[in-house]
Chains A and B, each alone.
Chain A
């Protein structure tokens, strides 16, 4: 499995999980489905970006930092749109980015297949 696919799958799974945890906040429970979809999309997008970065830059430290930055940035956008829950959204969002950043650096195939030239 290549790093982009790896980031996509991991980002998506963690995104779903991240969205589902909003169930514990009764005030947003009615919008649970929308939150889960949004969180999943955020996770997928962050996962792809982090996966692309991991394929180009082979550095665990930079990968983790990039993941953290992307996770925080995306989470900030969502919190900004809601004008609330900055800590509840940004802290786990940053951690998800960090985990995906670490995982894509550590695991996944960095080789790319390209058509052979004759």
Chain B
């Protein structure tokens, strides 16, 4: 009698867990990742002949909390049309009851892996500015991400920067209303009624005291489970932690992170939400000022530091003028009668 090897058993388990996409326009290609709620698969859209990423719930739970959360994530993504947010193409329920949504397949690298590689500090800061822009946009639409971290940022080969995984996002405004996503025909009726239904699902209201997020990137008030009082400044804390991560990644070796950047990250991560930047745009603007060699809000400079920054900003111009003066002086002395 031949026994199956461990490898074969593991493979069979994997195949058994693979979702059945029969009845949809998608053909499964590969599993590309997994999260708390479900897994993300690479699939081919048979109708349009393109590759898409399909996020599918791990368990067939079409009316439970997880399904409602996944649907809500799809609705939030669909409502946030922005170059920094992955667009949703479709949403529905599989034959086995698992909820899914299809989105653009992003080929790129996660920020945590990208940062470990090459890349100058200004290059990384420009990526950070794009993240701030995206988060600022979401905030203006009344959406709080609540799980910003390098693992949830994708950088594409053509300079794309995408904020991913809005699964634990919080809707800040009571009157938040987005256009409902068209559900597939096999979608149960009650689930296709749009966000109004989805967002009112009792399971979607995160209980006070519940902690959602990632340690190290979570604001103190978020870590305490103070869900009711969370606002945009919780995301600003996470942005500060991402900035700290990016600064540290580029300062490996003998270099230390510039003081102004450390001060910006510290202000964004202040334990007191009121002392943080008022908005993600304001944080992004301070980074822009740093990149332009201008003084930043978070770091009051003394005279020497101002001179050093000014000299660094106009370094080449100063070298040219000094060269001119030296050449002038040399010529005067050389041709002195």
Partners in one complex: yes
Q: Which residues on A are within 8 Å of B, measured CB to CB?
A: 14, 18, 21, 24-27, 85, 87-88, 91-92, 95-96, 98-99, 102-103, 106
What's the nearest-Cβ distance from chain A to residue B322, in Å?
11
Contact B317 A102 (CB under 8 A): yes
B328 at the binding interface (Cβ < 8 Å): yes
Q: List residues of B (317-337) whose CB comes within 8 Å of A's CBs.
A: 317, 320-321, 323-324, 327-328, 331-332, 335-337
CA distance A70 to B328 in the complex (A): 19
Report the number of A-B residue pairs with Cβ-Cβ less than 8 Å: 38
Contact B316 A102 (CB under 8 A): yes
Contacts of B331 in A (CB 8 A): 87-88, 91-92
Main secondary structure of the interface of A (DSSP, over half): helix
Contact B327 A88 (CB under 8 A): no
Q: Mark B130-145, 1 if CB is under 8 A from A, else 0.
A: 0000000000000000
Contact B317 A99 (CB under 8 A): yes
Contact A102 B337 (CB under 8 A): no
Assess A92 versus B328: contact at CB under 8 Å? Given A26-B337, A27-B337. Answer: yes
Chain B interface residue count: which class?
10 to 19
Contact B324 A99 (CB under 8 A): yes
Contacts of B320 in A (CB 8 A): 95, 98-99, 102
Contact A103 B335 (CB under 8 A): no
Main secondary structure of the interface of B (DSSP, over half): helix
A-B CB proximity, top 7 nearest? A24-B332, A95-B324, A99-B320, A88-B331, A92-B328, A21-B328, A88-B335
Contacts of B321 in A (CB 8 A): 99
Contact A106 B337 (CB under 8 A): no
Contacts of A96 in B (CB 8 A): 324
Contact A92 B317 (CB under 8 A): no
Contact A106 B324 (CB under 8 A): no
CA distance A27 to B335 in the complex (A): 11
Contacts of A24 in B (CB 8 A): 332, 336
CA distance A98 to B324 in the complex (A): 10
Contacts of A18 in B (CB 8 A): 328
Contacts of B332 in A (CB 8 A): 21, 24-25
Contacts of A87 in B (CB 8 A): 331, 335
Sample 14 A-B pairs with CB under 8 A, ordered by A number: A21-B332, A24-B336, A25-B332, A25-B335, A26-B337, A88-B331, A91-B327, A92-B327, A92-B328, A98-B320, A99-B321, A99-B324, A102-B317, A102-B320
